[in-house]
């Protein structure tokens, strides 16, 4: 196959697209290169659909490869890529949300898009390159797709917007906004920000949409040159095929149902999800009972007619109800629970409701209820993160759990899936801008959100629950963070924005536009849509309605707990922090870690030592923590003349004095003449081995330290110092003359063997 190469400039960066070099058996494949970051994307579709498939089976996989960064990673006995990292899952989910709404409604062929970084230069992020590659692969494939779209990232450094910033620029950026779409619509948003104001965020959206236009023209050029013809409608697999009789009966059911919806669904507010489900099932039963006699024939019994109707209604009735809910909103501003379009369901918040936890918060919005727990740990309890691009540690992390009972279902529990990882990450980054620095609050922080009930945006409830739990735990966050999900009712021409969407309002033509914010500005955004994309008018209309809702939630949070608690829980560990000379870190750790392990075992503490000399001692028993601190200070202490030791231990008695332990490595000589003012016959008359005494350093000479007890006592009036007697040496005195010679003593001429 001939290799086709295309080049363009994207916001000042050269983009190279190659088609025809790799993965020829995929429906379509391209490599996209920006700088030295190169990503392969493939798009493939199955010929058939799996039996019983009631949703569009799209799979988007972001496959990290360590070879792309020139490293060998992984456990010692398994040096290959295994389970996707959280970052890989999140990148795959981003691209999935951006392309999913652009496939035909009702398609049941399996579609798989695989994005694989081949080279990563550390400057150009592979996620944005992967977005571009995935959308080009779909656009030139035979798979039906309502493109073209592309991807774009917007950053902000010192108030200046940057299109597709480098990895280094992102480290200093106040904004990390990623979108997919074109100059007129946006299909996906994923954003984190440092409390950015609404106007600045809207401007970032405008810049993103404008900057994608040249790239869209470039993609059209590629499609014109190498694009395949799309597969015809009749050769694809669809959700359901209806006969003429089916269509006729469906219209009869819809006509009858519309007359009864006003009575059963819209007559009075239906506040709960269960109540609405019950009414719909009752209406369904009523319609079947009404229709089955009309369908009864010689060849079809009443029972067979009922089975036929139930099977038919399963294929279309719920979608029809969602369409009617949308129509009621567009025509009459009427929601099934009776709320106004900008009204939030009843809110409540509680803190400190679970004993022994370090912090807990319960947040409820309507039937959505989340219980969050905050646990404080030692600095060494941080989370080690290993990805294709980065290795590092996380001092704050959030885990989200969604068990089946939260929606009244019975399902096997198999651990965290892609959805749980995504929701947990969203609530995690929502709180990052308000967390204290490591210097202010050295604890490792873990927050777990347990969804107790779900009917609309449990991830935003998790953000609110996390805020409550952190404040209850005494974590000094700068400001509370609240979250809100905004919805949309639309039919292709008309649209209206909804505050706090729930079950029936999240149908075709809807959106799930999630915002987290403090009173000062936005911290995170995530959006997916069931439309062909959001226009700038829709985005602009969403912001003031969102801000009103966020402020209402913040008011509930601050009424519950106005500020973080001043004291930590009695069950939380305490940390003592000190700084030592980095040159003495080895003394604290000891050979093979013997010293630090011994202290951890002896005092039942956890000790963490940073490269800059910061030492943190964590313990639930402050007495033990202070003992460990005392020992560490003793290990690293540098002695000076005049230093006073309050409890130096006598470790050895000699005729001329005693040796006392000053630090872990240094003993001092306490001469008999320094025991007190006046004559002392025996050292043991005053001190014994094991005594703790108060001494002062009086001399340091070539590493030898002398201390005194009497220097800390009042000098008697008229006292005269006596000269200290020189220490006697054991053995005969040395011959000064012979000791000054070099080499062996002269013993005369050497003797011969014969002598």
- Check whether residue 107 and residue 220 sit in a common domain: yes
**Cβ(459)–Cβ(410) below 8 Å:** no
- Check whether residue 306 and residue 431 sit in a common domain: no
Task: Return the residue matching tokens 């490792």.
Answer: 444
* Rounded CA separation 82/79 (Å): 9
- Check whether residue 90 and residue 140 sit in a common domain: yes
CB-count burial class (<10 Å; 0-12, 13-18, 19+) for 733: exposed
- Check whether residue 118 and residue 24 sit in a common domain: yes
- Check whether residue 472 and residue 611 sit in a common domain: no
* Rounded CA separation 266/200 (Å): 40
Tell me which of 235, 253, 284 is where a domain ends: 235
Tell me which of 190, 206, 235 is where a domain ends: 235
Among 49-58, 291-300, 392-401, top mean pLDDT goes to 392-401
Task: Return the residue matching tokens 């002062």.
Answer: 696
* Rounded CA separation 325/456 (Å): 16
Structure tokens at 50: 């799996």
Q: Is residue 725 part of a domain?
A: no
Bigger pLDDT: 729 vs 13: 13
What digits encode the pLDDT tens for the residues 659-672? 999 988 889 999 99
* Rounded CA separation 145/99 (Å): 8
CB-count burial class (<10 Å; 0-12, 13-18, 19+) for 241: exposed
pLDDT grade for 722, boundaries at 50, 70 and 90: low
**Cβ(481)–Cβ(372) below 8 Å:** no
Task: Return the residue matching tokens 């779900």.
Answer: 454
**Cβ(14)–Cβ(121) below 8 Å:** no
* Rounded CA separation 552/14 (Å): 46
What digits encode the pLDDT tens for the residues 135-188? 999 999 999 999 999 999 999 999 999 999 999 999 999 999 999 999 999 999
Structure tokens at 555: 């008011």
pLDDT grade for 726, boundaries at 50, 70 and 90: low
Taken in order 538, 541, 543, 546, the sign of the CA dihedral is negative
- Check whether residue 98 and residue 66 sit in a common domain: yes
Q: Is residue 447 part of a domain?
A: yes
**Which range marks the domain in which residue 265 is found?**
244-332
- Check whether residue 488 and residue 580 sit in a common domain: no
* Rounded CA separation 56/236 (Å): 12
For the chain, give the percent of residues with pLDDT over 90.
Answer: 69
CA-nearest of 688, 690, 653, 685 to 671 is 653
Task: Return the residue matching tokens 């947990």.
Answer: 424
- Check whether residue 523 and residue 440 sit in a common domain: yes
Separation of first and last alpha carbons in the chain: 101
Residue 618 C-beta-side C-alpha neighbours within 13 Å: 17
What digits encode the pLDDT tens for the residues 46-69? 999 888 788 899 999 999 999 999
Per-residue pLDDT at 733 exceeds 80: no
Bigger pLDDT: 287 vs 552: 552
* Rounded CA separation 173/160 (Å): 9
- Check whether residue 279 and residue 155 sit in a common domain: no
CA-nearest of 146, 161, 186 to 488 is 186
Q: Is residue 338 part of a domain?
A: no
What digits encode the pLDDT tens for the residues 242-271? 888 888 999 999 888 888 887 777 766 655
Bigger pLDDT: 741 vs 491: 491
For the chain, give the percent of residues with pLDDT over 70.
Answer: 94
* Rounded CA separation 97/60 (Å): 9
Q: Is residue 503 part of a domain?
A: yes
In DSSP terms, which residues pair with 706 in a beta bridge?
669, 699
Distances (CA, A) of 608 to 2, 381, 496, 593: 59, 10, 54, 12
Res 242: pLDDT: 81
Res 746: pLDDT: 46
CATH number for the domain spanning 429: value is 3.30.230.70
Q: Nearest 5°: phi and psi at 646?
A: -80, -30
CATH number for the domain spanning 607: value is 3.30.1370.10
Q: Is residue 568 part of a domain?
A: no
Cβ-proximal residues to 751 (8 Å cutoff; 6+ apart), any chain: none
Bigger pLDDT: 610 vs 752: 610
- Check whether residue 214 and residue 264 sit in a common domain: no
- Check whether residue 443 and residue 528 sit in a common domain: yes
Q: Is residue 531 part of a domain?
A: yes
Bigger pLDDT: 263 vs 462: 462
Res 634: pLDDT: 86
Tell me which of 535, 560, 585 is where a domain ends: 560
- Check whether residue 227 and residue 265 sit in a common domain: no
Q: Is residue 545 part of a domain?
A: yes
* Rounded CA separation 238/236 (Å): 6
Per-residue pLDDT at 596 exceeds 90: yes
* Rounded CA separation 294/291 (Å): 5
* Rounded CA separation 67/81 (Å): 10
CATH number for the domain spanning 674: value is 2.40.50.140
Q: Nearest 5°: phi and psi at 343?
A: -100, 140
Based on the structure, what is the number of domains in the chain? 5
Q: Is residue 722 part of a domain?
A: no
**Helix, strand counts (H, E) of the chain:** 14, 29
């Amino acid at each position: 196959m001939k290799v086709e190469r295309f080049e363009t400039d994207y916001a000042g960066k050269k983009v190279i697209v190659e088609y025809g070099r790799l993965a020829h058996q995929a429906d379509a494949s391209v490599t996209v290169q920006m700088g030295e970051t190169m990503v392969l994307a493939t798009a493939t579709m199955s010929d058939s659909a799996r039996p019983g498939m009631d949703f569009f089976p799209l799979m988007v996989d972001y496959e990290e490869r360590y070879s792309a960064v020139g490293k060998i990673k992984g456990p010692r006995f398994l040096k290959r890529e295994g389970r996707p990292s959280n970052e890989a899952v999140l990148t795959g989910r981003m691209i999935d949300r951006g392309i999913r709404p652009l496939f035909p409604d009702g398609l049941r062929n399996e579609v798989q898009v695989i994005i694989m970084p081949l080279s990563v230069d550390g400057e150009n992020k592979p996620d944005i390159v992967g977005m571009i590659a995935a959308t080009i692969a779909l656009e030139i494939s035979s798979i039906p797709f309502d493109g073209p779209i592309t991807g774009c990232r917007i950053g902000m450094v010192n108030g200046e917007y940057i299109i597709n910033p480098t990895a280094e620029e992102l480290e200093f950026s106040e904004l990390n906004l990623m979108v997919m779409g074109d100059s007129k619509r946006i299909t996906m948003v994923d954003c984190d920000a440092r409390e950015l104001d609404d106007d600045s965020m809207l401007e970032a959206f405008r810049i993103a949409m404008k900057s994608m236009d040249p790239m869209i023209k470039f993609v059209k050029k590629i499609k014109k040159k190498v694009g395949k013809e799309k597969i015809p409608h009749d050769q694809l697999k669809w959700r359901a095929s209806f006969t003429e009789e089916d269509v006729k009966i469906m219209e009869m059911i819809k006509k009858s149902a519309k007359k009864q919806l006003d009575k059963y669904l819209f007559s009075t507010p239906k506040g709960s999800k269960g109540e609405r489900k019950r009414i719909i099932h009752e209406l369904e039963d009523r319609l079947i009972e009404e229709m089955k006699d009309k369908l009864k024939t010689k060849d079809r019994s009443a029972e067979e007619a009922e089975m036929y109707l139930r099977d038919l209604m399963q294929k279309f009735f719920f979608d029809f109800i969602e369409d009617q809910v949308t129509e009621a909103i567009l025509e009459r501003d009427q929601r099934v629970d009776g709320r106004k379009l900008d009204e939030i369901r009843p809110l409540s918040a509680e803190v400190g409701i679970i004993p022994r936890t370090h912090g807990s918060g319960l947040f409820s919005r309507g039937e959505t209820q989340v219980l969050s727990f905050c646990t404080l740990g030692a600095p060494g309890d941080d989370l080690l993160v290993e990805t294709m691009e980065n290795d590092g540690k996380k001092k704050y992390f959030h885990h989200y759990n969604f068990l089946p009972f939260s929606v009244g279902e019975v399902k096997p529990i198999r651990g965290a899936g892609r959805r749980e990882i995504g929701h947990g990450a969203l609530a995690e980054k929502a709180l990052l801008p308000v967390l204290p620095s490591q210097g202010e609050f050295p604890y490792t922080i873990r927050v777990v959100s347990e969804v107790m009930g779900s009917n609309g945006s449990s991830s935003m409830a998790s953000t609110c629950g996390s805020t409550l739990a952190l404040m209850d735990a005494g974590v000094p966050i700068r400001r509370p963070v609240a979250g809100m999900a905004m919805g949309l009712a639309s039919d292709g021409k008309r649209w209206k924005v909804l505050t706090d969407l729930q079950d029936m309002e999240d149908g075709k033509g809807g959106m799930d536009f999630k915002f987290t914010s403090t009173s000062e500005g936005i911290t995170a955004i995530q959006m997916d849509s069931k439309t062909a994309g959001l226009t700038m008018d829709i985005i602009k209309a969403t912001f003031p309605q969102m801000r009103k809702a966020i402020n209402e939630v913040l008011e509930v949070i601050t009424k519950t707990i106005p500020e973080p608690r001043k004291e930590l829980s009695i069950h939380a560990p305490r940390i003592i922090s000190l700084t030592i000379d980095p040159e003495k870190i080895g003394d604290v750790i000891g050979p093979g870690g013997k010293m630090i392990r011994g202290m951890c075992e002896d005092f039942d503490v956890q000790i963490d030592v940073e490269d800059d000399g910061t030492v943190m001692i964590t313990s639930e028993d402050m007495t033990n923590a202070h003992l460990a601190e005392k020992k560490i200070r003793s290990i690293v202490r540098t002695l000076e003349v005049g230093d006073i030791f309050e409890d130096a231990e006598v470790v050895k008695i000699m005729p001329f004095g005693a040796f006392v332990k000053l630090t872990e490595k240094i003993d001092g000589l306490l001469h008999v003449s320094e025991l007190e003012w006046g004559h002392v016959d025996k050292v043991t008359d005053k001190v014994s081995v094991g005594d703790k005494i108060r001494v002062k350093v009086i001399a340091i000479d070539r590493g030898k330290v002398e201390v005194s007890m009497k220097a800390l006592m009042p000098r008697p009036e008229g006292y005269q110092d006596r000269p200290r007697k020189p220490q006697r040496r054991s053995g005969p005195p040395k011959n000064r003359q012979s000791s000054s010679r070099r080499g062996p003593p002269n013993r005369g001429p050497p003797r011969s063997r014969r002598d």
